[in-house]
Amino acid sequence: MYSPLNTEPPVEPPPTTAWGVERGDKVEKIEARRSLGPSRSRKVTKVKMQDVYSFNLEVSREEALIIHQVKERVKEQGRVWWAMEAKNGAGWYLQPEIFAQAEGYLASSLSLVTMTNSMQLKKLIRSGIPPPLRPRVWNAVSGATKRKSTVPGSYYQDLLAAVEGRETPATRQIDHDLGRTFPTHPWIDSADGRAALRRILVAYSFRDSRVGYCQGMNFVAAMLLLVMKTEEEAFWMLAVLVENVLFDDCYSENLYGCHVEQRVFKDLFQKKLPRLATRLEEIEFDVSLVTTEWFLCLFAKSLPSETTMRVWDVLFNEGASILFIVALAIFKMKEEELLVAKHVGEVMKILSDATHNAYDPDELLKVAFEKVGVMSLHTISKQRKKEQPAVIAELERRVQRLNTSDSVQGSSVSR
């Protein structure tokens, strides 16, 4: 099985004073040089390196420094988790009562010690789970361990054996998408990596034939393969994501759940960033042009791997509300630039650069939790119920238009 963690020695960061890490005259001079325009800008030196999950990167020296700093903070956070293990006992976070609140238990039914441990765990998870511990913690807090325990131990292998050699529209689409899934990752793009990814996606398409396979699931499953210790664990994490964590039918054939989530997001966007919402409407930019992919891929295709994992840490523990908060945070961080954007292409470029260069997860999550603010799943659920009738009506109209179109074509052929 692939070992996901990159243990290569980190690239030495550049001197801090040379690249404006400390605020002051040097930063102002660098920013002034940038404002002179491309004709007088200095050539950016690129550094080749790998991140924690072995994605090949080619970044500026400034970005390399940020990635190095993030790796150091990951190590520091690991020391915090080990200290908690020493205090509370090994695997203290694996006790079901510790994360009972996330499953809807009333606070009054939990002991003070349990309440304290639950709050400590929530705070720790928001600060980041050390990569070596992610598989165990995710399995516990997401409910994947519990879900797996309800079926025979041979379930996954039996499912693989049952579907071997069978072909469906889902398997054909999976085969089409394999080569387009993180083609620059050395293991995902290898024969073994593609085979493992195919087995997970095909197995799940038969487990839940109503969902089958939807583009976007390939990126999610690939990231799960890099994090979890075994292929089977990655399969169960995908299952609990689709069936428990995310809103119903996000990956169904008509993307019903995804349409609901997009309408909910637009409503939140109007409330949280009204000036920006008005401006983007003026230039006819529909936020779903970017947010649909963010939600379907759970940011795996847009954000750097460790930043994505930090979002997923919260996703598995607190639920899908983090997707809305992070999406709003991205717009919030680039609000001033977006307010002066003159056309759709410019908006797309700003947001693409913002996500692909978001190497510091703490910066993004700080904006998400402190400037956007936490939203409860209860709040999101209420908004979903409000939007569902409109989505159902729109999907029904689409079906009617398709049926009408087919009838007209059929009449033309018969004549």
Task: Give me the helix-helix angle, 112-127 and 305-318, nearest 10°.
Answer: 160
Read off the DSSP letter of residue 47. Answer: E
Give the pLDDT score at 289: 96
Q: State the pLDDT at residue 358.
A: 97
**pLDDT score, position 30:** 33
Query: What is this structure's pTM?
Result: 0.85
Closest CA to 332 of 374, 370, 372: 372
Q: How far is CA 115 from CA 112, 137, 138, 262, in A?
A: 5, 18, 19, 34
User: Which of 3, 5, 84 has the alpha carbon at shortest distance from 306?
Assistant: 5
Domains belonging to the chain, first-starting first, are 1-69 (no CATH), 144-245 (1.10.8.270), 256-392 (1.10.472.80)
The residue assigned the tokens 């009204």 is 274
- The whole-number pLDDT of residue 226 equals 97
Mean pLDDT of 91-97: 72
* Greater pLDDT, 406 or 24: 406
Q: What is the pLDDT of residue 85?
A: 86
- Give yes or no for residue 8 having a pLDDT over 80: no
Rounded Cα distance between 236 and 233, Å, is 5
Flag whether pLDDT at 390 surpasses 70: yes
Dihedral sign for Cα atoms in the order 102, 107, 113, 116: positive
CA trace torsion 310, 73, 55, 1 (10° rounding): -80
C-alpha distance from residue 291 to each of 144, 327, 338 (Å)? 27, 7, 15
| Res. 229 pLDDT band, cuts 50 70 90 | confident
For 311-355, write each residue's pLDDT tens digit. 999 999 999 999 999 999 999 999 999 999 999 999 999 999 999
Considering the chain, what percentage of its residues have pLDDT values greater than 70? Answer: 82
Pairwise CA distance, residues 225 & 142, whole Å: 16
Nearest residue to 62 (alpha-carbon basis) of 138, 104, 11, 107: 11
- Tell the residue number behind the tokens 């009333």, with chain if given: 106
Q: Which residue has the higher pLDDT, 60 or 87?
A: 60
Positive or negative torsion for Cα 70, 75, 78, 83: negative
What pLDDT band is residue 253 in, cutting at 50, 70 and 90?
Answer: confident
Determine which helix (DSSP H) or strand (DSSP E) holds 57, and give its type and residue range.
strand 56-60
Q: What pLDDT was estimated at residue 245?
A: 95
DSSP 268-309: HHHHH-HHHHHHHHHTT--THHHHHHHHHTTTTTTS-HHHHH
Amino acid residing at 316: F
Mean pLDDT, to the nearest integer, of 233-245? 96
Q: How many helices (H) and strands (E) does the chain have?
A: 19, 2
Mean pLDDT of 372-393: 91
> Are the beta carbons of 229 and 5 closer than 8 angstroms?
no
Band the pLDDT of 407: cuts 50, 70, 90: low
Residue 12 has pLDDT above 60, yes or no: no
More confident residue, 205 or 210: 205
Read off the pLDDT of each residue in 112-117 and give the average, rounded to a whole number: 56
Predicted local confidence at residue 5, as pLDDT: 58
Is the CB of residue 249 less than 8 Å from the CB of residue 256? yes
pLDDT band at 384 (very low <50, low <70, confident <90, very high): very high
Strands 56-60 and 46-50: antiparallel
| Helix H or strand E segment including 219 | helix 217-227
Q: Which long-range contacts (CB under 8 A, 24 or more apart) does 100-105 make?
A: 102/141, 102/317, 102/318, 102/319, 103/143
If you ran DSSP here, which 8-state letter would residue 50 be given? E
Query: Mean pLDDT throughout 214-220?
Result: 96
Q: Residue 221 pLDDT more than 70? A: yes
pLDDT computed for residue 377 by the predictor: 85
pLDDT for 104 equals: 46
Task: Identify the pLDDT of residue 28.
Answer: 38
Q: At residue 401, does pLDDT exceed 80?
A: yes
**Tokens 């510790």, located at residue:** 98
Reported as a single tens digit per residue, the pLDDT across 29-73 is: 333 433 444 445 567 789 999 998 999 999 999 999 999 999 999
227 residue type, one letter: V
Can you give the pLDDT at residue 42?
62
What is the rounded average pLDDT of the residues 192-203?
A: 97
